[in-house]
Amino acid sequence: MSAFLRKASLIFTVMMDQGRKMMELSKQVLQKVSFDPRLFQKELSKAVKWLGQRDQLLFKAWCLATFGHQYKEVILDVFQKTMRT
């Protein structure tokens, strides 16, 4: 494997790891702010902007499974706005 491919592979691995760490942190934050609809929406919007498209889909599924009974419309709205931009 060439040096370029090794470096590209390492960069990709680091980025994927950072995305997963950010997703886990975002899950913790949302669990802590779920008592307040405005704060929940604000933190969800920030979290989605940090994630890549693949992680956004995983995060959306988790959000709906975890908070869909309480914030389904907020979750769908945030993800719809974010995925358009």
Full 3-state SS string of the chain:
CCHHHHHHHHHHHHHHHHHHHHHHHHHHHHHHHCCCHHHHHHHHHHHHHHCCHHHHHHHHHHHHHHHHHHHHHHHHHHHHHHHHC
Per residue in 30-52, pLDDT (tens digit) is: 999 999 999 999 999 999 998 88
pLDDT values of the chain reduced to their tens digit, one per residue, 85 residues: 577 666 666 555 655 566 788 899 999 999 999 999 999 999 999 999 988 888 899 999 999 999 999 999 999 999 998 865 4
